[in-house]
Amino acid sequence: MEDSSFVDYENGNYFAHKPTRATLPQEQLDWLRDDLTQTDKKVIIFSHQNLDGESGVKNREVVRAIFEEANQQTKKVIACFSGHDHHDAHHEINGIHYIRMNSMSYEWVGKEFQYKERFSDTVNDYRPALKNTVPYKVPVYGIVEINSKGFIDVKGKEGEFIQLGPKELGVDFGYEISPSVSDRYLKF
């Protein structure tokens, strides 16, 4: 994996590549810097893993420095969207919005909070990982509109947990687990 070659992560294969997982290789960093230098447009970044927290891209400080460098002359990078964490969150760092979009369907809580009674044995046998989640009753999502007045408008979908939810299971990860995507109106 040292050569930055493509690795298919289907079926959990990503656990075999911890040293390079969630790291942008130099070739991609160079491409990003060059692409941002050449554009005169507003830029929105979409990444699977977040660029604003410890659970995200390992070399996120380098990536953010590239964004901030691009924004020195004129504001180009206005927002970064991610979803890996299954959180509904927003942070603004040095004038750039980092928006974590919630999962459409569940939060992973792991074996410690496993709950087998939510679904039938047939469902649990077919999808064994479900018992390690707190699923939502309906899919949640956000519709994002970026307008010419300098605002990012996120219209989110509220949901609810299929019982038992995280509170009933005693889950406390130090952040709120929400079955929703929040409405946001952000100036850029």
> So what's the pLDDT on residue 21?
76
Using CB atoms within 10 Å of the CB of residue 30, give its burial: 0 to 12 exposed, 13 to 18 middle, 19+ buried. exposed
Verify that 76 and 121 share a domain, yes or no.
Answer: no
pTM confidence score: 0.88
pLDDT digits (tens, 9 = 90+) for 71-88: 998 999 999 999 999 999
By residue range, what is the domain housing residue 154? 103-188
User: How many CB atoms are closer than 10 A to CB 129?
Assistant: 10
Verify that 108 and 178 share a domain, yes or no.
Answer: yes
Verify that 90 and 146 share a domain, yes or no.
Answer: no
Separation CA 82–CA 84 (nearest Å): 6
pLDDT lower than 50: segments of the chain: 1
> So what's the pLDDT on residue 1?
45
Residue owning tokens 């949640």? 140
Separation CA 44–CA 17 (nearest Å): 28
The DSSP H or E segment spanning 100 is strand 96-100
Verify that 138 and 46 share a domain, yes or no.
Answer: no
> So what's the pLDDT on residue 153?
99
Verify that 151 and 84 share a domain, yes or no.
Answer: no
Verify that 112 and 58 share a domain, yes or no.
Answer: no
> So what's the pLDDT on residue 15?
60
Verify that 6 and 92 share a domain, yes or no.
Answer: yes
Residue 22: half-sphere exposure toward Cβ, Cα within 13 Å: 19
Verify that 112 and 79 share a domain, yes or no.
Answer: no
Verify that 74 and 114 share a domain, yes or no.
Answer: no
Residue owning tokens 């605002």? 151
> So what's the pLDDT on residue 145?
98
Verify that 114 and 128 share a domain, yes or no.
Answer: yes
> So what's the pLDDT on residue 3?
54
Verify that 72 and 18 share a domain, yes or no.
Answer: yes
Residue 16's domain is classified under what CATH number?
3.30.750.180
Verify that 97 and 27 share a domain, yes or no.
Answer: yes
In total, how many domains does the chain have? 2
